[in-house]
Structure 1
């Protein structure tokens, strides 16, 4: 846990002997703030979560959050870059330096399969399994039509970020059932809060397989 110095006049902080420029406040909650900072060393952006600790219990909870981050090492889980406890008189702050999710997503998700909310990560935006449901929908689309829904747009050099804001359209003359088309369009709803979870997707898939099995039995 390195020494942390706040140099307010220059808008910089130092964590583990590495300096970061303060860029802007991203969000705030009841007992924490999230700021966007930029590394002086390499220009990369990070999210700095500042947890306000009023007493020893709050400090313990902040350190427990640090340990929870350290328990997991997976490419789909945000990695804790650094942390420290910043003493401020009777109070203190737990500082957690995390990857900036917009940059993190750009490194890990192919642009033509990236959910709309990952192009412009707004405050209070919830990133959960439904973000992956969108990518799953893109894979299903590619399986049905032999090309991803935004592959052509990407290869033409047009903006995928703008294209994903529009309602997905099914190509004319689609030979697949309405039930399968409904599954596809449901997974690719622009608003992530209106997208189904994985349990719904699995149940719909099972129903489609059962229908297909019954039809094959009738034809046999």
Structure 2
């Protein structure tokens, strides 16, 4: 059996100062890990040239090393995600974790286990919700249409609100959490790996509802299989 090694891929730039500590707290300390990003080594002009959003096309939002956020075209990003998957497998990673909750249909590996959070969260949420009305927090309003279909297994159609985890202003998150509560949500789910424990506390205090943080769930589950 090959030595175990975890690779992670962020849509932004690696390492992710917001997510890596959550993984480190859950994973075995001795487990080798390697972090890469789609936008590593690129400045904003290069990012805009290669991955700039196109009108009417799905987008993803992620974090740069300077702490700022960036929005990229999802279809253009997917091809580079596959390149990073292949790179990590070539460098000995036996498990590869995508640090993104977006839905992708074309990613493959030769032998490494590829973990796409969407494929875990989407079928798990109905069981966690147990019939309750779910409110979904997304970073960008335009993602409500492009990413909303993945939650179709829920008994009740989810309701959505947008608030970015990357802008440092908690007021939009407070407003979004309260809006979801006032519209009938009984449980909140974050549809972005950038939402962390601080965001859980803000949203929970604002709404009085339980809040499921995507990266916390994934970190705990990955720790069970690496």
Q: TM-score range by the shorter chain?
A: under 0.3
Question: What TM-score does the superposition give when structure 2 sets the normalisation length?
Answer: 0.22
**Structure number with higher relative contact order (C-alpha < 8 Å, ≥ 6 residues apart):** 2
Is the strand fraction higher in 1 or 2? 1
Question: What TM-score does the superposition give when structure 1 sets the normalisation length?
Answer: 0.23
Q: Which has the larger radius of gyration?
A: 1
